[in-house]
Amino acid sequence: MGDVIDFEAVRHRLKLRRDTGTVRLFENRDGVSCPVCGEAFDEALATTERSRQLGSDQPLDVCVARESDRLFIFTHAHG
């Protein structure tokens, strides 16, 4: 299976908000499509951690994908 998403290939369309070494959080600035549902995502989180707590103060839809060593979470805000 290939990469879920190649963040380096679309780096110019995203803003890296955080990089801890095990977690990278990107903000979508240019309508990059979610590899799960095909709609533009708002934020994408890529992590190699086995578990991750998420929180949001707004309603959102979440798409999840994984590779053998990484988990990807794509958020889609409402409204």
Higher pLDDT, 18 or 58: 18
State what percent of residues in the chain have pLDDT above 70.
96
Residue 11 DSSP SS3: helix
Question: Are 60 and 77 in contact, with CB atoms under 8 Å apart?
Answer: yes
Give yes or no for residue 57 having a pLDDT over 90: no
Reported pTM:
0.89
Interatomic CA distance for residues 25 and 74, integer angstroms: 10
